[in-house]
Chains A and B, each alone.
Chain A
Amino acid sequence: MKLNELDLFPYPFHDDVYRYSNNSVLMDKPSSVEITPNYLEEINLKRKLLGSSPARCFQSLPYAKKAQWEVLEIVAQQLADSYPDKFSLDKKGKNWVFCNTLLNENHSFIIGDDSTLPHEPLDFIGRHVQEDLILMMQRDGDLYLDAGQLCFPANWSLAFNLGMKFKEIHNPIPGFKEEKLDDRILGFLLRVEAGNPWQRKNWSLMAGNRMDTSLETYDQWGKDRKKVTRENAGEFVYLRVEVQKILRMPRTNGILFTIHTYLLSLDEFCQNRKWLEQFYSILSELPEYIAEYKGLSMYKDQVLQYLKDKMKRGD
């Protein structure tokens, strides 16, 4: 994804020091998804990936079907409400018609009847939004990843995580368990209420501008990390920010987790002097265990040198 306008980039930091935390905030205007100027480009890429690697990009467990329909309903309704010039949702009893004018597509289906859709409900609506969609079902006081469409993962695998509990999924994050962040964030998620969705931002660095950095294809993109130099970092290294939204689904009491991925090259990012300076502070102080987990240990020094050069030049 390339953005010419820095204005659209969701700047992820609000302090000169970064640590893992629950940095969620209540959303001023509740929403599950957002349309950006890269819509067509990203939807095409998504659909290409879903066609070529379906098992990597969509997974579901049979008992999550009712909740999948609720995801479709929430997302389709919000698209129609937030972007009435681009989408519409016409409901006549159980007969619904969803129109997407950006793609010039009309879909008629019977709500709750799987046979009337070309794909499973979550997979279907996911093909109309830039976000990855993850469905967590709440059962006996825990959250389980029971369905998801994931085309743009930041080095994780949906097929591997399917059916896992929240804490099992987050087990690899260093310090997460030791600092009881897993308990705290699970407790927070269990208390998220319908009508009051939350948002958080997560960040990492990427060598290259690939959106689909799945664990399964690490062999293809992971080696680019070795190619970063002080000279090429500006155009080769990207700041990757995920805007994550957390919504309670009232009918099935599940959690819908949407992830919108943004990439911005360091050259573009550094056009904002304040961002450059703050990011330099963060990166130079960043503990090794976080750098390692975010996959930037291998080229952190090169990026720091690049940022330092930028600050000296004052441009």
Chain B
Amino acid sequence: MYKENTIPVVVKTIQIETPFVKRFTLTAENGYILPGFSGGSHITAYIEGSEGLLERAYSLTSYGDNNESYEISIHLSETSRGSSSYWHRHMKIGDKLRISYPKNYFQLSYRAKHHVFYAAGIGITPFLSMMAELCERGASFELHYAAKSREFCAFYHLLRSKFPRQCHFYFSCEKAPKKLTYESLQHHPIGTHVYFCGPESFISSFKDAAIALGYPYSSVHYERFTARSSKSAAPFLIELLNGETIPVSKEQTLLEALLEKGMKVPYSCRAGRCGTCELKVLKGEIDHYDEFLSDEQRNSNSVILSCVSRAKSEKLLLEYG
């Protein structure tokens, strides 16, 4: 499995942003400067919870070249038994944890003539660094941000003071309720790129509305944070074209089982990233753990990266051998 290098950090400050959102600043444990990052970046935080190692992605909400600290903002999920609850209820100033290097899968478009951000709730977080980067570049942008009320609207005051002309707020539970709808999508100039972040239902409905209105796919951007399941591996069987059946134990990967039998499967990274060890699957259900295949390829259930992925069903029939 791909095990990334991490940076040891310390919790420096904890601030209350709203009744449900806390802001945490993190500094490098050795006092060094942290790596710079681009607008839209996030880190993966690793914390030891009561139920084992928790791994969650959080957008970096600070922005600047001099990175003596990072800031992340975490919303307490009402149903959370894991990560957000740990951050809100147990994390103290001075606590140590490990984080990944900054990653960016929500990069600003370079060809956009105008950028429009749509945020619902804690979905505001990636847009803070993106707007700061656009400000630095002198580019044109606006924000449409939905929250229950001013009180529950994270970064309300900061946004109002930093980007007074660009922000539009929609408070659904105030005296004069205002709802964020698809309406504004119809009024952006040609060359606009739209960015969505928030709950899954918010992202998919706004994305579909934008596409239906005729926005090109390449002008519609969104970020979902889905936690990768890391449940323990189970043994399974593979059947080859020549009829041979090979067991894959829970300690070994499919690639290892094939190599052990003397099969010359090409491979390189053994981390589910380079794509060299891809094999065709004719029958059986695949449990994908790679970072290489597209969603379309994954859902087709017809290719597997043998170095990390496994079977959901008892047996996989491979077009191999």
Which residues in A have some Cβ–Cβ distance to B below 8 Å? 15, 21-26, 30, 70, 112, 138-141, 184, 187-188, 191, 193-196, 198, 250-253
B274–A22 CB distance below 8 A: yes
Q: Which of A24, A25, A187, A253 has the most CB of B within 10 A?
A: A253
Chain B residues near A23: list those with CB within 8 A.
268, 274, 276
The yes or no answer to B300 lying at the interface (CB within 8 A) is no
Q: Closest approach, in angstroms, between the C-beta of A73 and any C-beta of chain B?
A: 9
Contacts of A250 in B (CB 8 A): 35-38, 41, 101-102, 104
Interface residues of B in 88-138 (CB under 8 A from A): 100-104, 107, 109-111
Interchain CB contact under 8 A, A184 and B102: no
| In the assembled complex, B273 has its CB within 8 A of some CB on chain A | yes
Query: Is the beta-carbon distance between A253 and B38 smaller than 8 angstroms?
Result: yes
Which chain B positions have C-beta within 8 A of A138? 107
CA distance A112 to B66 in the complex (A): 12
Chain A hits for B242, CB < 8 A: none
Distance in angstroms from A278 CB to nearest chain B CB is: 14
B218 at the interface (CB under 8 A from A): yes
- Name the distance in Å between B126's Cβ and chain A's nearest Cβ: 14
**Shortest 8 CB-CB contacts between residues of A and residues of B:** A251-B36, A195-B101, A194-B101, A139-B110, A250-B35, A253-B38, A195-B5, A250-B102
Is B199 in contact with chain A by the CB < 8 A criterion?
no
A-B contact count (CB 8 A): 84
- Taking a contact as CB atoms under 8 Å apart, the answer to whether A194 and B274 are in contact is no
Q: How far is the CB of B23 from chain A (nearest CB, A)?
A: 21
Contact B274 A188 (CB under 8 A): yes
Residue of A24, A26, A70 with most chain B CB atoms under a 10 A cut-off: A26
- A187 to B294 CA separation, bound complex (whole angstroms): 9
Residue of B nearest to A24 (CB): B274
Q: Which residues of B contact A (CB under 8 A)?
A: 2, 4-7, 35-38, 41, 65, 100-104, 107, 109-111, 218, 264, 266, 268-271, 273-276, 291-292, 294
A24 neighbours in B (Cβ, 8 Å): 268-269, 274
Chain A residues positioned under 8 Å from B266 (CB to CB):
21
Q: What's the nearest-Cβ distance from chain A to residue B216, in Å? A: 11
Main secondary structure of the interface of B (DSSP, over half): loop
Give the docked Cα–Cα distance between A22 and B266 (Å): 10
Output the least CB separation between A140 and chain B (Å): 5
**Would you call B107 and A253 a contact (CB within 8 A)?**
yes
Contact of A194 among B102, B271, B294 (CB under 8 A): B102
From B5, B41, B291, B292, give the contact of A30 (CB < 8 A): B5
Whole-angstrom distance between the Cβ of B139 and the nearest chain A Cβ: 13
- How far does the alpha carbon of A184 sit from the alpha carbon of B269 in the complex, in Å? 14
Contacts of A21 in B (CB 8 A): 266, 268, 276
What would 28 A/B residue contacts be, using CB atoms closer than 8 Å?
A21-B266, A22-B268, A22-B275, A22-B276, A23-B274, A25-B268, A25-B269, A25-B270, A26-B271, A138-B107, A184-B292, A188-B273, A188-B274, A188-B275, A188-B292, A194-B101, A194-B102, A194-B103, A195-B4, A195-B7, A195-B101, A196-B4, A198-B269, A250-B38, A251-B38, A253-B38, A253-B41, A253-B107
Interface of A is mostly: loop
- Decide: B36 and A70 in contact? CB cutoff 8 A: yes
Q: A93's closest neighbor in chain B, by CB?
A: B66
Residue of B274, B275, B292 most packed against chain A (CB within 10 A): B274
Which residue in chain A gives the minimum CB-CB distance to B107? A253
Chain A residue with the shortest CB-CB distance to B37: A250
Task: Closest A residue to B105 by CB, please name it.
Answer: A191
A285 CA to B264 CA, complexed, in Å: 17
Given contacts A22-B275, A253-B107, contact A195 B269 (CB under 8 A): no
Known: A23-B274, A140-B218, A195-B4. 18 other contacts (CB 8 A): A21-B266, A21-B268, A24-B269, A25-B268, A70-B36, A138-B107, A139-B111, A188-B273, A188-B292, A191-B292, A193-B4, A195-B6, A196-B4, A196-B101, A250-B37, A250-B41, A250-B104, A251-B37
Which residues of chain A have C-beta atoms less than 8 A from B104's C-beta?
250, 253
Give min CB distance, B39 to chain A, whole Å.
9
A23: nearest chain-B partner, CB-CB = B268
A184-B277 Cα distance, complex, nearest whole Å:
12
CA distance A140 to B115 in the complex (A): 13
Contacts of A140 in B (CB 8 A): 109-111, 218
Q: Which residues on the A side are within 8 Å of B2 (C-beta)? A: 26, 196
Q: Could you tell me the distance in whole angstroms from the C-beta of A312 to the nearest C-beta in chain B? A: 28
Distance of A71 from chain B, by nearest CB (Å): 13
Q: Which residue of B lies closest to A180 (CB)?
A: B275
In the complex, chain B residues whose CB is within 8 Å of the CB of A25: 268-270, 274
CA–CA, A194 and B101, complex, Å: 6
CB distance from A91 to the nearest CB of B (A): 8
> Within 8 Å CB of B101, what residues of A?
193-196, 250
Closest to B44 in A: A193
Query: Quick one: closest B residue to A144, CB to CB?
Result: B110
Q: How far is the CA of A21 from the CA of B270 in the complex (A)?
A: 14
Q: Kindly report which residue of chain A lies nearest to residue B293, judged by CB atoms.
A: A187
With the chains together, A112 CA to B136 CA distance in Å? 15
Contact B7 A184 (CB under 8 A): no
Point out the residues of chain A lying under 8 angstroms from B7, CB to CB.
Answer: 195
Q: How far is the CA of A188 from the CA of B266 in the complex (A)?
A: 16
Q: Chain A residues with Cβ under 8 A from B36's Cβ?
A: 70, 250-251
Task: Decide: A196 and B5 in contact? CB cutoff 8 A.
Answer: yes
| Known contacts A21-B266, A140-B109; is-contact A195 B275 (Cβ 8 Å) | no
Contact (Cβ within 8 A) A194 B35: yes
**In the bound complex, how far is the Cα of B268 from the Cα of A23, in angstroms?**
5
Q: Which residue of A lies closest to B111 (CB)?
A: A140
Given known A-B contacts A140-B218, A194-B35, A250-B41, A15 and B273 have beta carbons under 8 A apart: no
Q: How far is the CA of A308 from the CA of B104 in the complex (A)?
A: 52
A23, B267: Cα distance in complex, Å: 8
Report the Cα distance A198→B274, complex, angstroms. 10
